[in-house]
Chains A and B, each alone.
Chain A
Amino acid sequence: MTIGTVLIAVALLAGLAATVVLFYSYLRRDDRYVDAVTPLIGATAGLLVIALGYLTYQFVVTDYSNAYVWNNTANYIPVLYRVTGVYAGNEGSILLWAAFTAVVALWAAVVRGLDGRDTKLVQGITMGIVTYFTAMLFVDSPFRSITQEFPEAGEGFVPLDGTGLNPLLIDPYMAIHPPVTFIAYALLTMPFAIGVAHFVSTIRGDGGIFAEWIGSVTRWLRISWLFLTAAIVLGSLWSYTVLGWGGIWAWDPVETAVLIPWLFLTATLHAVMNYRSRSTYATLAPAMTATTLALVVYATAIVRSGVFRSVHSFANDGIGGALLVLLAATATLGIGLPFGYWLLREPEEDVDDSQTWLSRTNLLHLAVLGVGLLGFVSIWGLSFPVLNSYVTGMEVEVTGRYYNLWSYPIAIGVLLLIGFYMDYDVQGKRRASISLAVFTAATILAALVAPSETWTLSDVSANDALFYRIVGSASALSVVPPAAYVCLTVVNRALELVPGAPNRNFQLKQAGIAMIHVGFALLVVTLAFSYLFTAQSSLVVADAQNEATLEDAPVHDVPGSSYAVEVTDYRDYRLPEDPDVRNVALSAEQVIDRGEGIHETRQPVYGTVTQVNQGPEATVVQLDNSRIWLGVVGESGETVDVSEGDRVVAVGTVMWDFLPEMQQSDAVVVAEPANVGPVADPPQALDQTRVEGSSAGLVVYEDGNRIASGEAGQERYVQQGGMEVRNVLVDRGLAHDTYVIAAVDDGTVSLTIRQIPLMTAMRASVGLLLLGMVFVVLFDPAYGLVRSWPRTARQTNAVETSD
């Protein structure tokens, strides 16, 4: 039992106790033990956070007595990426998720208290999930001792170096992308619990809790939307610089899988806004709220279970099963329960206002549907190839083209809808209808105007299906009118609503709403244009290694582009640069410490030669003036050239009492000449090279102006299956990014230069989206985190209606 395992075990007990007390108290209406619940939740959260801290500590100090640490880091890795190792595998990721969820539960318990029956149910469900995660950790612990991994190595065995970290994770964005993702996931636990509790309460005839918890729900959903958006953005920025994964977005199964909960969450936020307890969305809003967590678990199961293999499936070992159980549970509670209620029990909806076609409620409903349809395109693209191959045995292809061409018209429709809603809200039906007609016509016309083939959404051939031919040959210009429509109407609405409004928070919230929608419109435009208008050209500098040494290196024009490139540096390197022999070999002292336990085992040793006995068939040398000697035995009398004072390293078989006639020797490490060498140039078996890199220093010119300089090349991770990672040179420009990929080999540099337009505008649009949501989260007069002044009455002050 390791310290970490004990932490997990105690956290499991505390979590289980809290869950049991909460459900007991809910079912029996017995509050006897409830006082213990908050401390128990506190204990669970505290212990999980301590466990996470302890695991991080083990990574930082490279404590290889922990098998998980040994598996996910190595001595040469700098501290930042040692921390990244914490969530490089499944166990660490689940620990991260569990700890965050527990903190969320604790936060809710402390802020809201545990009064009221339904509160106990909500907390019971949340703690149930925390406890489940903790149980997963108990079964599949990130604190498994290394002796369990290598039982044959005996007690107390600690490897000298780890196996290393997945090279794709050695990236600054990867250091923060996973925690941000798991914070978003953890925050979604509360809305899930509230949604489920609402249906339980409704079905049991207690009247439901959603109306009363609407403030909480809104806040949790908004904050998790903020984190989930940030997580996707960080992931995209990562894949942008990791070559081979196709830039910002490539519809990789994992990217698609995380887009689904994001779209759904976006739709849910709009549905929750539409919620009125007795009439509209009385069922749909809570149902959608309850569903989001199941989608998140679905995304994680795809990422981690190996159902779909992709760059994200870092490991697939067993944890998939536990996630599938969780998926089944969350889907039953979050989707099945509301659906069943809707089918069997839902009372007739009041039809008072819904007879008018044009109302804000109906428009919002359309928005929910539209975003839902976008989600459907993604879910379907992920699922139908699997379904199809099960049913027909034939494999069909789903490429980016499917997602792009189906999502595009829906996204355009959603943009037009946003524009119309914003316009209608302040200008009324007549004027709004006219501008909708104008912009729709402009969109259709723009779709027909393609100045060149680059402007069309896709290459089409005559044997494509009709839909793909139509949408594929539409011009990307068609995204401009709807986006302009959104920007104009959103800004117009903000100008109508914001100035003169008495409430400061209301003004700030409206500004936030405007930023979010303008940000979204700009994002769609920049995505479409940067995807279509990326230009690529290439160049081979055959004599790069020589050119790099020249004082005045030649500048090569890149054919078919406005770029020119100069090679200023060329180098091959190995990491770690200055390997420490202690990473791979034992000192004489350590051999003595391990004693008889390593008799007749192969061990690496190092030391300074203090005495040399050259015999006819063997050379025996003393290490560090100790009782440990190195015996070099060649098969055909080869000898090895060592003299006193040399620092040597060797790998050989440890033999205790091997030369009884030699008084000053306890053990001899018997090695072949090929396995002995100086520390500065160790034998092959002890070579510590992790990374073989080649890199070229480049200066890039555009239209004769120097725009960027830096290094590009590739690194090969020799101990990780020879996996190759590219280091690219990216120049971030106002109008376009310049993206240089270099294959550096044998003195030659093969360059691919991409000009990717509008990346800075895209980054700005995402920034706007996030900032807008921060405004809404903080300043919403009804549910914002910053109280409005003068303070408005809030409904959520723990008014209990049941019992």
Chain B
Amino acid sequence: MTFVTPRKLLTIMLLATALGIGYYSMNTAPVLSDESHTYHGDTAWKTDVEEAQQVAAEEDKPLLIYFWTTWCTYCDDYNSNAYTDPTVLDRLDDFVLLAINLDDGSPEASELQQRYNANYPPQHVAVTPDGEVLIEINGYAETDSFAAYLDEARSEWEER
């Protein structure tokens, strides 16, 4: 009687495969965030609400708040379209970027989420450093209209 039967061998191979998948996928998963930023397309967004507000006030720029989740397919569309588009990236320079992961559940995040009625992703809100709404973009906007929204937010901001 041999110790290793085909079935046992298959099972062991499967476990090894599972371990391999686990290890490999964990090590190669794209980094979404480090201590102070999350990354979407070619853009880096601040995650600390207070810090972002402070920077916005210091630099006298409006804030663009982006509500997103990992499983939102329209957020992926933003990543591959708007956030890699040079015209959009240019315009984003005029804003302080703050990204809120709706799954994160921190009190600051849920407060912002409630204040701007961000119920499901994706949602963008451009606000003044004091938190007054300039424009809202609910859901997905094609890159052109996304850029147009940003222009609108900027002119709203400049009128103030």
Which residues on A are within 8 Å of B, measured CB to CB? Answer: 243-247, 250-253, 280, 306, 308-311, 349, 351, 354-357, 361-362, 365-366, 369, 372-373, 376-377, 380-381, 384-385, 388, 393-400, 402, 406, 459, 464-465, 467-468, 538, 540, 721-724, 726, 743, 750, 752
Interface residues of B in 33-82 (CB under 8 A from A): 33-35, 38, 69-74, 76, 80
Q: Which residues of B contact A309 (CB under 8 A)?
A: 69, 102-103, 105
Q: Which residues of B contact A380 (CB under 8 A)?
A: 18, 21-22, 25
A-B contact pairs, 10 of them (CB 8 A): A243-B139, A247-B73, A251-B71, A253-B103, A365-B11, A380-B22, A384-B22, A459-B80, A465-B28, A467-B28
Q: Is the CB of B21 within 8 A of A310?
A: no
Partner of A723, one of B31, B74, B117, B121: B117
Q: Known contacts being A253-B71, A397-B30, is A406 close to B139, with CB within 8 Å?
A: no
Q: Is the CB of A394 within 8 A of B34?
A: yes
Q: B145 near A: Cβ within 8 Å?
A: yes
Query: Can you add 8 more A-B contacts, CB < 8 Å, to A251-B71, A402-B25?
Result: A250-B73, A310-B69, A355-B6, A393-B35, A395-B31, A465-B24, A465-B27, A752-B140
Q: How far is the CA of A468 from the CA of B70 in the complex (A)?
A: 18
Partner of A406, one of B1, B2, B25, B119: B25
Q: Is the CB of B139 within 8 A of A244?
A: yes
Q: Is the CB of A396 within 8 A of B32?
A: yes
Q: Known contacts being A246-B72, A310-B103, A355-B5, is A369 close to B33, with CB within 8 Å?
A: no
Q: B142 near A: Cβ within 8 Å?
A: yes
Q: How far is the CA of A468 from the CA of B30 in the complex (A)?
A: 11
Q: Which residues of A contact B80 (CB under 8 A)?
A: 459
Q: Which residues of B contact A398 (CB under 8 A)?
A: 29, 70
Q: Is the CB of A399 within 8 A of B6?
A: no
Q: Is the CB of B26 within 8 A of A246?
A: no
Partner of A397, one of B24, B32, B102, B121: B32
CB distance from A167 to the nearest CB of B (A): 9
Q: Known contacts being A395-B32, A750-B145, is A388 close to B26, with CB within 8 Å?
A: yes
Q: Which residues of B contact A373 (CB under 8 A)?
A: 14, 17-18, 21
Q: Which residues of A contact B117 (CB under 8 A)?
A: 721-723
- Interface residues in B, total, Cβ within 8 A: 46
Q: Is the CB of A362 within 8 A of B71?
A: no
Q: Which residues of A contact B71 (CB under 8 A)?
A: 246, 250-253, 310, 399-400
Q: Which residues of A contact B119 (CB under 8 A)?
A: 721-724
Q: Is the CB of A366 within 8 A of B10?
A: yes
Q: Which residues of B contact A351 (CB under 8 A)?
A: 1-2, 5
CB distance from B113 to the nearest CB of A (A): 9
Q: Is the CB of B21 within 8 A of A377?
A: yes
Q: Is the CB of B29 within 8 A of A396?
A: yes
Interface residues of B in 111-160 (CB under 8 A from A): 114, 117, 119-121, 138-140, 142, 145
Chain B, residue nearest A406 (CB):
B21
Q: Known contacts being A394-B34, A396-B31, A723-B117, is A354 close to B6, with CB within 8 Å?
A: yes
Partner of B70, one of A369, A397, A722: A397
Q: Is the CB of B138 within 8 A of A724?
A: yes
Chain A, residue nearest B6 (CB):
A357
Among B14, B29, B38, B80, which residue has the most Cβ atoms of chain A within 10 A? B29
CB-CB nearest 7 A-B residue pairs: A246-B73, A465-B28, A396-B29, A397-B32, A395-B33, A722-B117, A354-B5
Q: Is the CB of A372 within 8 A of B14?
A: yes
Q: Is the CB of B18 within 8 A of A376?
A: yes
Chain A, residue nearest B122 (CB):
A244
Q: How far is the CA of A372 from the CA of B11 in the complex (A)?
A: 11
Q: How far is the CA of A789 from the CA of B83 in the complex (A)?
A: 66
Q: Is the CB of A397 within 8 A of B31?
A: yes
Q: How far is the CA of A251 from the CA of B120 in the complex (A)?
A: 15
Q: Which residues of B contact A251 (CB under 8 A)?
A: 71
Q: Known contacts being A252-B71, A309-B102, A356-B6, is A721 close to B114, with CB within 8 Å?
A: yes
Q: Is the CB of B120 within 8 A of A244?
A: yes
Q: Known contacts being A362-B6, A406-B25, is A396 close to B103, with CB within 8 Å?
A: no
Q: Is the CB of B24 within 8 A of A467?
A: yes
Q: How far is the CA of A311 from the CA of B80 in the complex (A)?
A: 23
Q: Which residues of B contact A244 (CB under 8 A)?
A: 72, 74, 120-121, 139
Q: Is the CB of B38 within 8 A of A395?
A: yes
Chain B, residue nearest A349 (CB):
B5
Chain A, residue nearest B117 (CB):
A722
Q: How far is the CA of A468 from the CA of B102 in the complex (A)?
A: 27
CB distance from B67 to the nearest CB of A (A): 11
Q: Is the CB of B7 within 8 A of A365?
A: yes
CB distance from B80 to the nearest CB of A (A): 7
Q: Which residues of A contact B72 (CB under 8 A)?
A: 244, 246, 250
CB distance from A199 to the nearest CB of B (A): 20
Q: How far is the CA of A369 from the CA of B17 in the complex (A)?
A: 11
Q: How far is the CA of A250 from the CA of B74 in the complex (A)?
A: 10
Q: How far is the CA of A244 from the CA of B68 in the complex (A)?
A: 11
CB distance from A489 to the nearest CB of B (A): 21
Partner of A394, one of B1, B24, B33: B33
Q: Which residues of A contact B1 (CB under 8 A)?
A: 351
Q: Which residues of A contact B121 (CB under 8 A)?
A: 244
Q: How far is the CA of A466 from the CA of B105 in the complex (A)?
A: 34
Among B7, B22, B102, B117, which residue has the most Cβ atoms of chain A within 10 A? B7
Q: Which residues of A contact B139 (CB under 8 A)?
A: 243-244, 724, 726, 743
Q: How far is the CA of A77 from the CA of B139 in the complex (A)?
A: 26
Q: How far is the CA of A459 from the CA of B117 in the complex (A)?
A: 33
Q: Is the CB of B105 within 8 A of A246?
A: no
Q: How far is the CA of A246 from the CA of B75 in the complex (A)?
A: 10
CB distance from A419 to the nearest CB of B (A): 18
Q: How far is the CA of A245 from the CA of B75 in the complex (A)?
A: 10
Q: Which residues of B contact A306 (CB under 8 A)?
A: 105
Q: Which residues of A contact B18 (CB under 8 A)?
A: 373, 376, 380
Q: Is the CB of A308 within 8 A of B28?
A: no
Q: Is the CB of B30 within 8 A of A396?
A: yes
Among A372, A397, A464, which residue has the most Cβ atoms of chain B within 10 A? A397
CB distance from B101 to the nearest CB of A (A): 8
CB distance from B36 to the nearest CB of A (A): 12
Q: How far is the CA of A372 from the CA of B18 in the complex (A)?
A: 10
Partner of B76, one of A366, A399, A723: A399
Q: Is the CB of A354 within 8 A of B7?
A: yes
CB distance from B104 to the nearest CB of A (A): 8
Q: How far is the CA of A664 from the CA of B72 in the complex (A)?
A: 64
Q: Is the CB of B102 within 8 A of A246?
A: no
CB distance from A303 to the nearest CB of B (A): 14
Chain A, residue nearest B21 (CB):
A406
Q: Which residues of A contact B11 (CB under 8 A)?
A: 365, 369
CB distance from B137 to the nearest CB of A (A): 10
Q: Which residues of B contact A369 (CB under 8 A)?
A: 10-11, 14
Chain B, residue nearest A354 (CB):
B5
Q: Which residues of B contact A752 (CB under 8 A)?
A: 140, 142
Q: Which residues of B contact A750 (CB under 8 A)?
A: 145
Q: Is the CB of A468 within 8 A of B69?
A: no
Chain B, residue nearest A356 (CB):
B6
CB distance from A582 to the nearest CB of B (A): 30
Q: How far is the CA of A254 from the CA of B74 in the complex (A)?
A: 18
Q: Which residues of A contact B102 (CB under 8 A)?
A: 309
Chain B, residue nearest A369 (CB):
B14
Chain A, residue nearest B47 (CB):
A395
Q: Which residues of B contact A395 (CB under 8 A)?
A: 31-34, 38
Among A349, A721, A726, which residue has the most Cβ atoms of chain B within 10 A? A721
Q: Which residues of B contact A245 (CB under 8 A)?
A: 73, 120
Q: How far is the CA of A735 from the CA of B33 in the complex (A)?
A: 41
CB distance from A492 to the nearest CB of B (A): 26
Q: Which residues of B contact A361 (CB under 8 A)?
A: 7
Q: How far is the CA of A362 from the CA of B102 in the complex (A)?
A: 46
Chain B, residue nearest A743 (CB):
B139
Give B82-120 as 1s and 0s: 1 = Cβ < 8 Å from A's Cβ atoms. 000000000000000000001101000000001001011
Among B25, B28, B102, B138, which residue has the most Cβ atoms of chain A within 10 A? B25
Q: How far is the CA of A454 from the CA of B80 in the complex (A)?
A: 15
